[in-house]
Amino acid sequence: MGLKVSVSGVRGVFPDELTLEDVMHFTRAFSSMIGEGCALAMDTRVSGRIIAGMVSAVLREQGVDVYNLGVAPTPVLMRESREDKVGAGIMVSASHNPLDWNGLKFALHGRGMPADRLPSDHCSRRSRGRNVIGEEHEHASAYVDDLLAFLPLDIHGADRIAVDTAQGSSRRYILEMLTRLGFSAVMLDGDSPDPTGSDLAHLRSALADGCRLGIALDMDGDRAVMLTGARSIYKPDDTLLICIAGAVKMGCRSVAVSIDTSNAVRDLARAMNCTMHYSKVGEANVVDTMLSNGCHAGGEGSSAGFIMAGFNLCRDGLLASAIALSMLDELDWVMEYSGRYHVRRGKVYSDRGMHDRLVDELIGTHEYSEVISIDGIKLIVDEGTWVLVRASNTEPVVRLSVESYTRERCDALYRRYEAMIRGG
């Protein structure tokens, strides 16, 4: 499939598509942009230590001191990369991609740095007079302390909470958070790195057995799927739905979300007098829209991602989990919005990609009242129905998303546009 270089970082199957030479190249390019320190973390993939070792070696070769967090989630790495701490960071992870993948995420001053914006023509730091070898330091984060101090809500409970961290980097952190809040954690780690693509039957069974909430995180902890007893099924957008309700309670009055987000989130924001702005898909794009519009919160419905600018300028599954815990007594009315719609999302492997002919065919369907073209093509069919076709940021596929009031109409539209993309 080839190496993917995008707004979401660098990703590929290791070592066939993502090679150690690639790791050296992108790390050197990033080192040309940063100061004298860089935080480093990894998720639990087998190839993580090899790649993290190479990243550390290259940074130190370039005179950069490495502050090694070891196994830690992306949100932790992002907080350590803020200017008042280290100033930069590299996360070794392919996030929700399959386990044979790995990758690099770059952070500068607390924000994700898109890999496609790294300098292609850069000179060595050593050639610019930085003629020392950097040192590596073991580094500990006060992330959980910071999180619990940040939230102004009274979150204390004795309920049982079912958790699936995909045997990833968030396990220690979410256990500490739940313990300190008084909850009892029921750990049910599965083997799927992407909670948005799993049926999470083990968590649904835990809810039936008395657990108050189910939380499923991806490998690097930036995605968090929430399962509640209010519905027998879930969709990734429920995370954003719950967290925006919590953010509005904390005083947030404007949010930014990606265009691949359920209308349920729109409806809830309207009901709570919260202004909503739309962005392209991708964490960096959502953050850009948040900052340009003064939004305190935002996220991506399709990826179960929530962002709160005052704490972290990235999707933060641990923060999302804490806010969901604060909303335990209000989940029923929040989830009523989710029940209004049916969403179907999938990947379509097509040689045609997103070229002009496909776009022309989509626009030529005449079954829409509005076209949004900020990211692929989104056709607004009616107040509750839309179709989104766009190229993936993280995989060499076309992503198709459809939402409507009924499952039957949602599935029918999905099949029609899937056939169109395939050229049928």
DSSP3 helix / strand / coil % (the chain, rounded to 5): 35, 25, 40
| CA pair distance 77, 99, nearest whole angstrom | 20
The residues near 220 (Cβ < 8 Å, ≥ 6 apart) are 43, 73, 74, 91, 93, 95, 105, 168, 169, 170
pLDDT tens, position by position, 65-76 = 999 999 999 999
Work out the average pLDDT over 188-217: 91
CATH at residue 261:
3.40.120.10
132, two tokens = 């020392």
On the question of pLDDT at 424 being above 70, the answer is: no
Whether 398 and 318 share a structural domain = no
Q: Which residues pair with 258 in a beta bridge?
A: 279
Judge if 136 and 148 occupy the same domain. no
Across the range 287-303, mean pLDDT stands at 97
Residue 358 carries which side chain, given as an amino acid letter? L
Q: Average of pLDDT values for 259-284?
A: 96
Percent of the chain surpassing pLDDT 90: 77
| Total domains, the chain | 3
Lowest mean pLDDT among 35-49, 71-85, 183-197, 339-353: 339-353
Give residue 259's region: left, alpha or beta (phi > 0; psi -120 to 50).
alpha
CA distance 262 to 239: 11
- 410: CATH: 3.30.310.50
Are the CB atoms for 421 and 26 separated by under 8 Å?
A: no
Select from 110, 140, 170 the last residue of a domain.
Answer: 140
pLDDT of residue 376: 87
Same domain, 117 and 158: no
Based on the domain organization, do 126 and 246 belong to the same domain? no
Residues 271-297, mean pLDDT to the nearest whole number: 96
Question: Residue 205: pLDDT above 80?
Answer: yes
Which among 140, 172, 198 is the end of a domain? 140
Count other C-beta atoms under 10 Å from residue 402's C-beta: 26
Contact in structure between 142 and 166 (CB atoms under 8 Å): no
* Average pLDDT of the chain to the nearest whole number: 91
The predicted structure's pLDDT at residue 352: 47
Is residue 303 domain-shared with residue 350, that is, in the same domain? no
- Enclosing domain of residue 398: 342-422
Q: Which of 77, 111, 140 is the last residue of a domain?
A: 140
With a cut of 80, say whether residue 373 has pLDDT above it: yes
* Section 21-44 average pLDDT: 96
| Residue 293 sits in the same domain as residue 204 | yes
Residues 152 and 294 occupy one common structural domain: yes
Are 35 and 9 within one domain?
yes
Alpha helices by DSSP H, listed for 258-381, are 263-271, 283-293, 317-326, 331-338, 356-363
pLDDT band at 313 (very low <50, low <70, confident <90, very high): very high
Domain check: are 330 and 350 in the same one?
A: no
What are the tens digits of pLDDT across the range 76-115?
999 999 988 899 999 999 999 999 999 999 999 999 999 9
**DSSP string across 204-262:** HHHHHTT-SEEEEE-TTSS-EEEE-TT-SS--THHHHHHHHHHHHHTT--EEEEESSS-
Mean pLDDT across 303-309: 96
- 282 with 188, same domain: the answer is yes
Question: Which pLDDT does position 138 carry in this prediction?
Answer: 96
SS3 label, residue 119: coil
- pLDDT at 128 exceeding the cut of 60: no
Residue identified by tokens 């960071």 is 89
**Does the pLDDT of residue 351 top 70, yes or no?**
no
**Average pLDDT rounded to a whole number, residues 20-38:** 96
At 266, list the tokens. 């729109």
pLDDT top residue among 322 and 124: 322
Q: Are residues 246 and 354 in the same domain?
A: no
Residues 273 and 354 in one domain: no
pLDDT digits (tens, 9 = 90+) for 130-156: 678 999 999 999 999 999 999 987 777
pTM: 0.93
